[in-house]
Structure 1
Amino acid sequence: MTLLQVQHLGKVYTTRFGGNQVEALSDVSFSVDSGDYIAIMGESGSGKTTLLNILAALDKPTRGNVILNRKNMVHIPENEISAFRRNHLGFVFQDFNLLDTFSIQDNIFVPLVLAGKKHKEMEQKLMPIAKKLGIENILAKFPYEISGGQKQRAAVARALIANPELILADEPTGALDSKSSDDLLEQFEQINAEGQTILMVTHSIRAASHAKRVLFIKDGNVFHELYKGETSNEEMFQKISHTLTMLATGEDSNA
């Protein structure tokens, strides 16, 4: 079943001084099926961050539509957008975005607190996720007392706890060492295997090689895409490397 449809998305910014217009996205179209795991890659300035912000309902496109489970996010009124984001989307950030004055448990609870859930319900939702991510022993600790890998697992738990339709991950391995990155990517694969849809923006070829599908953005357009199928992570790594070389050199993606 198609969960997300991105239709002819364009975004033009007007600079503060001089009134010049900058086209960040030109004509981006793709769809995401329920249970998919997609990585978005591209050079700096390619438009992938703008795309992620629009998909996260943090920005509005100049043209086009973003339809999540038959709801057009572009037309959601400003006074309803925060609730929509909280109820339908989960977020994992490069810098974790944990609150230092909250325990790990309370950080994970934040989406449910904002949704007005009762404490008993929050606790029932927490433990299965905490055990799955291996963080049940650090729930009483504070962010400054745990490692980067543990912080990111807590951030993943916070993203999962409201049972979102789509998880958006922005460079989730960017602040992690190689072992913590590998651990997180294995957890993402497991979470996806259990049915969670994930869309991840990353510069990391290793991270992208774990996804089922990779979209490459160049000059505000989808330049190319790869499907993993039965390909191994190592083979996918090589395919992604080759495509990124094409992006950098300007080769034809169909060559």
Structure 2
Amino acid sequence: MSILEVKGLKKTYTTRFGGNQVQALKNVSFSVEEGEYVAIMGESGSGKTTLLNILAALDKPTGGTVLLDGKNLADIKETAMAEFRRDNLGFVFQDFNLLDTFSLEDNIYLPLVLAGKNYREMHKRLEPIAKQLGITQLLKKYPYEVSGGQKQRAAVARALITHPKLILADEPTGALDSKSSDELLDLFSAINQDKQTIVMVTHSVKAASHAGRVLFIKDGEVFHQIYKGHHTRQELYQKISDTLTLLTTGGDRA
């Protein structure tokens, strides 16, 4: 069953004073099955960040549709959009987006506080997530007291605690060292094995090789896609590297 359907997506920006138009997305169509783990790759300026922003309902397309669990994002009223995001989407950002004046625990609780949940329910939800992510002993600490990898684990916990239909990750390993990146990617794989749907935008071949499918965006369109299938992670890594080479050297769509 498709949890996310993107059909004929277009996005055109008009430069300041209306001088020029920039077509960030031309005609993007794909679907994501429930429980799937999809990575989106492409060169800077390819349109992948614009695509992520539209999937997150932070930007509106010029044309086409995005359906999340059968609901057209365009039909959601502006006044209800923040609540829709909070209830259906989990976000993991490159720079963590944690509040320094809140403990990790309070940062994680924030979306549930905004949703009006009581403390008992929040604690009940957090306990297994914190255990899975290995941050139980860190919950009373503040962001400035922990490492980058630990901050990102807290950010993942915040994304998971609302039981979202879809997690959107924007360069989640971008600010982490190699060891922390590996640990985070292993956690993402474990979370996905628990049937959590993940869509991740990344420049990292290593990060993308953990996904079950990789979509490549070029000049605002889907250029190619690779399914992991029976391939090992190393084999997928090589296939991703080869496709990125094809993108940068102007090869034809595969």
TM-score, length-scaled by structure 2: 0.99
Residue 155 of structure 2 corresponds to which residue in structure 1? 155
1:184 is matched by which residue type in structure 2?
L
- C-alpha change, 1:114 and 1:184, in structure 2 (3 Å) is same
Residue 183 of structure 1 corresponds to which residue in structure 2? 183
Asked if structure 2 preserves the Cα contact closer than 8 Å seen for 1:243 and 1:253, the reply is: no
1:87-109 CA-partner distances (Å, limit 9, x unpaired) = 00000000000000000000000
Q: Secondary structure at the match of 1:137?
A: helix
For the aligned residue pairs, the C-alpha RMSD in angstroms reads: 0.6
Residue 218 of structure 1 corresponds to which residue in structure 2? 218
1:197 is matched by which residue type in structure 2?
T
- How much has 1:18 moved relative to structure 2? 4.3
Residue 197 of structure 1 corresponds to which residue in structure 2? 197
Residue 228 of structure 1 corresponds to which residue in structure 2? 228
Structure 2, unaligned stretches of length 5 or more? Answer: none
Give the distance between the partners of 1:66 and 1:219, measured in 2 at CA: 20
- How much has 1:19 moved relative to structure 2? 2.8
Q: Secondary structure at the match of 1:67?
A: strand
Asked if structure 2 preserves the Cα contact closer than 8 Å seen for 1:96 and 1:152, the reply is: yes
- How much has 1:36 moved relative to structure 2? 0.2
1:198 is matched by which residue type in structure 2?
I
Structure 1, unaligned stretches of length 5 or more? Answer: none
Is 1:8 paired with 2:14?
no
Residue 106 of structure 1 corresponds to which residue in structure 2? 106
- How much has 1:75 moved relative to structure 2? 2.0
1:50-84 CA-partner distances (Å, limit 9, x unpaired) = 00000000000000000001100022111111100
Give the distance between the partners of 1:36 and 1:250, measured in 2 at CA: 29
- C-alpha change, 1:76 and 1:19, in structure 2 (3 Å) is farther
Residue 129 of structure 1 corresponds to which residue in structure 2? 129
Residue 71 of structure 1 corresponds to which residue in structure 2? 71
Give the distance between the partners of 1:74 and 1:48, measured in 2 at CA: 20
Q: Percent identity?
A: 69
Give the distance between the partners of 1:178 and 1:103, measured in 2 at CA: 26
Q: Secondary structure at the match of 2:105?
A: helix
Give the distance between the partners of 2:217 and 2:247, measured in 1 at CA: 9
TM-score, length-scaled by structure 1: 0.99
Give the distance between the partners of 2:48 and 2:141, measured in 1 at CA: 35
